[in-house]
Amino acid sequence: MKMTAAVTHEKGKLSIETVEIDATKASEVLVRIIASGVCHTDSAGMEQIIPVALPAIFGHEGVGIVEEVGIGVEGLKKGDRVILTFPSCGTCRFCVEGKPYACEHLNELFFNGTYKDGTKRVHQNGQDISSFFGQGAFAEYVIVDARNAVKVDVADEDLVYLCSLGCGVQTGAGSVLNRLKPEPGSSLVVFGCGGVGMAALMAAKIAGCSTIIGVDVVPSRLELALEVGATHVVNGKEVDAVQEIIRLTNGGANYSIECSGIPALTLQALSCLCRGGTCVVASVTGEAVVGIPIEPLLMNKSATLAGLTEGGANPQVFIPKLVQFYKEGKLPVDKLVKFYDFKDIEKAFHDSHAGVTIKPILRF
C-alpha cells in the first residue's frame, strides 16, 4: 500500500515522500496515524547520535486507529483507538516477568529499524526503509507488534493530546510512580522541565509530595512547571541550583530525577539529595560520561543512583492508568502541546530545539 511519510535519507534531513508499506504479519496490526509526537530521541536518530540505518522513518509517539489485524492478535480489532509505545520481544525472561522496559532485545528493537523477525516493512524503489522504535510514526500508516499498541477509550479529539503517553510522559511519570514511589509529604526535584520533566512534576503531585522543585534555565518552562505541579522552581542560570535545593528542602531532597539528558546535571541531581536519597537518570543521549565522586555522594550519604528506561513501565498496564489520570485532570499534558500540520514537520523540530514548544505534535 502506498502512503506518505517523512523520510530521512541522510543525516539531519527530512523529506516528505511516497513509500510503500507491507501487509501485516502474525501478531501485528496496521494503524492509521492521526497524530505523532516529536521527541528529542527522534532528533538523536536523525542526526546519527544514535546510529540508525538510513534511509529511515522516525517518530515513536504515534496515536491512531487500527485498520488491519494480523493472525493471532487478541484484544484489538479494526476501529480501535490506540496509543503506540516502545517495542519489546515478549519472550525473554524480563518480558515474561512483566518488565518489557528491561527487554533483552530492547536496543535492537529500538534502533535497528527492523521488526522482531529482522525484516523491514516499508520500501521505496526497491530499497528497504528503517522504522524507528518499531513504529516509524512520521507516516500515514505504521505496522506495529500488537504488544506496542495500547487500546484506549478516548475520543479522537482527546487522543491527539496523548501521543507522548507512549514514551515521554510514560518515562517521566513512570520514573516517579513506578521506580521512586515517593511517600506523601516527601520532597522531589526534577532537572529539566521538558516533556519528560513536566510529566515527572505532574506525577510527583499525584503521589502527594509536599515539596516539588523544577530546575531549568528557560523562564517560560519554569512558569509552566508551577502550573502543572511544582511548588518551587529554580533557574540554574541565576543561582547555584544545588545550594538552593538544599535550602528549600531543609537539608536535601528525598528524590531527584535527571530529565534533561545533560550528563553533567546527574552530578547536581545526586549532590542535592539528603542522606538515603535516590536519584533516577531518566534521559540521556549518546555515549554520556560523567565523573561521580562515589564516596561522598553515594557511600557516605547512603544514596542511590539508578538508570531507568521508559519509566520502568509495562505499557499495557501503565498507559491506561495515565489516561485515567488525564481524564481526572491530574495529568494535564494538554498544557505542553502545540499542534503542527504534518507538512510543517521541520518547523516542529526547530521549535522543539529552540525551546519554543515543549511537545510538538504532528497532525495528519
Task: Tell me the per-residue pLDDT of 201-248, one tens digit each, with 9 for 90 and over.
Answer: 999 999 999 999 999 999 999 999 999 999 999 999 999 999 999 999
254-296 pLDDT per residue, tens:
999 999 988 889 999 999 999 999 999 998 766 667 888 899 9
Question: What percent of the chain has a predicted confidence (pLDDT) above 70?
Answer: 99
- Residues forming a β-bridge with 110: none
Q: What pLDDT score does 291 carry?
A: 87
**DSSP states of 129-173:** EEEGGGT--SBSEEEEEGGGEEE----HHHHGGGGGGGTHHHHHH
Q: CA–CA separation, 25 vs 139, rounded Å? A: 19
Q: Which helix (H) or strand (E) holds 69?
A: strand 62-69
Q: What pLDDT score does 355 carry?
A: 87
Domain ranges (residues) in the chain: 2-151+332-363, 172-309
Q: Regarding the domain with residue range 172-309, which homologous superfamily does it belong to in the CATH classification? A: NAD(P)-binding Rossmann-like Domain (3.40.50.720)
Q: What pLDDT score does 284 carry?
A: 75
Q: What is the mean pLDDT of residues 325-341?
A: 98
Name which of 354, 364, 340 is nearest 38 in CA terms. Answer: 340
Q: CA–CA separation, 236 vs 120, rounded Å? A: 44
188 pLDDT exceeds 90?
Answer: yes
> pTM for this one?
0.96
37 pLDDT exceeds 70?
Answer: yes
- Specify the fold of 2-151+332-363: Quinone Oxidoreductase; Chain A, domain 1 (3.90.180)
At residue 51's C-alpha, the angle toward residues 190 and 258, to 5°, is 10
Name which of 336, 345, 355, 364 is nearest 42 in CA terms. Answer: 345
